[in-house]
Each structure stands twice: as structure tokens, then as C-alpha cells.
């Protein structure tokens, strides 16, 4: 899997090492276990998917994680992205709107010993005010627009990585330059599951 990521242009050695260290098959349904190291997304229940390894690596590189960074993730899903960030030394606050995924993944991350990942059940469009500010914010669902609270909850110098768009999303890297100034870079196209409003208890 790591060789395939290198071939697709991922060159950040720390990110590649984290992806080599975290077993992806722990985060997948048993039915897909033998395919866990292919560069593909898979269903994780509740009509959601674990992101493709390339996408996880791509977003992680953009975040430029430093040891001890406080990171907000919107879209816990399987917990795989959170685990990669934790392996890089970050402290993660991850938010999920699907109750079942929140419970399952919180339990899994506890069992696997990821003590620096804290899970929250809520709609992530308002961020996580009580734990703000964050050094980095990552959104792992395709958002129609950039939710303002996610920008406001960044430290000055902080980075928000978010895929924005309807059927296809443009990856945006937004850096907070000062209290009122933000710099936006528009990068490659991706397809994520949609960023939805409210919570779901189905």
C-alpha cells in the first residue's frame, strides 16, 4: 500500500511511516479484510465509507502535523484517518453525526489503545467550540461550502483542509494568517460522501 502511495506522488516520509504503522484492516469490516491494503474506499455501514488510502495520505500531508498538534476532525467514520493523525503525534478531537458509527468507532479506538483520540457525537458544521482553538482542522466529507466556525476555531497560523463542492469536490487548504485574514489554496478534485446537517440515530 505504501509503495502504491509513493508511486502516486506521496513523498512525505513521516506520513508514509504512519500509514505503514497503522493496520488498516482493523478499521474495515471482516468481509473486506483481504483487500484492506488496496488503494480503494470500502463501505463501513450507515451508507458511509472509509476513505481511500491515497486520500488519507493526501489530506494528512496538507495538514503538516507537528508532534502535539491539536487537531479537529469532522467525519470520524471508521477512525482510520484519526488513527493516522494520532500515529503522527497529534491529539485528535473527532466528530461524527451518525450515532452508530460514533459508538462503534469510539469502542474500536479505545480497544486499540488510541488514547489521544477523543470522539464526539454531533453535527460537525459548528466545529467543537469547547475544545477550540485547534492547530489543524480536517473535514473528511464533501462540504457544499466552508463552514465559518471551522475557520474561526483555528489558531493564527493554523490550517484547515476541506473538500468543497457538490458531486465533485475541490480540496482546499486554508491557512489562518491573522485574526481576520485567511489564505486559500485550491488543489485537486476528489469524491467524498456528503457532509450532512444534523445528527442521525438510524
Task: State yes or no: residue 51 binds ligand SAH (CB under 6 A).
Answer: yes
CB-based contacts of 62, cutoff 8 Å, min separation 6 = 159, 161, 171, 173, 187
The torsion angle over the Cα atoms of residues 29, 30, 35 and 36, rounded to 10 degrees, is 60
Instruction: Return the ∠ at Cα 117 (arms to 115 and 121), rounded to 5°.
Output: 130
Task: With contacts defined by CB under 6 A, name the span among 18-26, 64-72, 95-103, 149-157 that binds ligand SAH.
Answer: 95-103
Catalytic residue among 51, 78, 167, 180: 51
From 5, 10, 87, 96, residue interacting with ligand SAH (rule: CB under 6 A): 96
> Residue 30 or 179: which CB sits closer to ligand SAH?
30
Task: Report the distance separating Cα 138 and Cα 145, nearest Å.
Answer: 14
Task: State yes or no: residue 19 binds ligand SAH (CB under 6 A).
Answer: no
CB-based contacts of 113, cutoff 8 Å, min separation 6 = none
Instruction: Give the containing element (helix H, strand E) for 48.
Output: strand 48-50
Measure the N-to-C terminal CA separation of the chain; round to a whole number of Å: 34
Task: With contacts defined by CB under 6 A, name the span among 16-24, 123-131, 154-162, 183-191 that binds ligand SAH.
Answer: 123-131
Active-site residue flag, 200: no
From 53, 75, 158, 163, residue interacting with ligand SAH (rule: CB under 6 A): 75
Active site residues: 51
Binding stretches for ligand SAH (CB under 6 A): 48-51, 74-75, 77-78, 80-81, 95-98, 101, 123-125, 140-141, 193, 195-196
Amino acid at each position: 500500500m505504501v509503495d502504491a502511495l509513493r508511486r502516486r506522488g506521496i513523498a512525505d516520509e513521516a506520513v508514509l511511516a504512519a500509514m505503514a504503522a497503522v493496520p488498516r484492516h482493523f478499521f474495515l469490516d471482516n468481509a473486506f479484510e483481504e483487500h484492506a491494503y488496496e488503494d480503494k474506499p470500502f463501505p463501513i455501514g450507515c451508507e458511509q465509507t472509509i476513505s481511500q488510502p491515497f486520500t488519507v495520505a493526501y489530506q494528512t500531508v496538507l495538514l503538516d502535523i507537528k508532534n502535539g498538534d491539536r487537531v479537529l476532525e469532522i467525519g470520524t467514520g471508521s477512525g482510520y484517518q484519526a488513527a493516522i493523525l494520532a500515529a503522527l503525534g497529534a491529539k485528535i478531537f473527532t466528530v461524527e453525526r451518525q450515532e452508530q458509527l460514533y459508538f462503534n468507532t469510539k469502542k474500536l479506538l479505545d480497544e486499540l489503545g488510541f488514547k489521544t483520540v477523543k470522539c464526539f457525537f454531533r453535527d460537525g458544521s459548528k466545529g467543537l467550540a469547547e475544545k477550540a482553538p485547534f492547530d489543524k482542522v480536517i473535514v473528511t466529507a464533501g462540504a457544499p461550502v466552508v463552514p465559518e466556525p471551522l475557520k474561526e476555531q483555528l489558531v493564527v497560523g493554523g490550517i484547515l483542509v476541506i473538500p468543497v463542492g457538490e458531486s465533485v469536490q475541490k480540496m482546499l487548504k486554508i491557512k489562518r494568517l491573522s485574526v481576520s485574514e485567511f489564505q486559500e489554496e485550491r488543489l485537486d478534485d476528489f469524491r467524498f460522501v456528503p457532509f450532512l446537517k444534523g445528527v442521525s440515530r438510524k
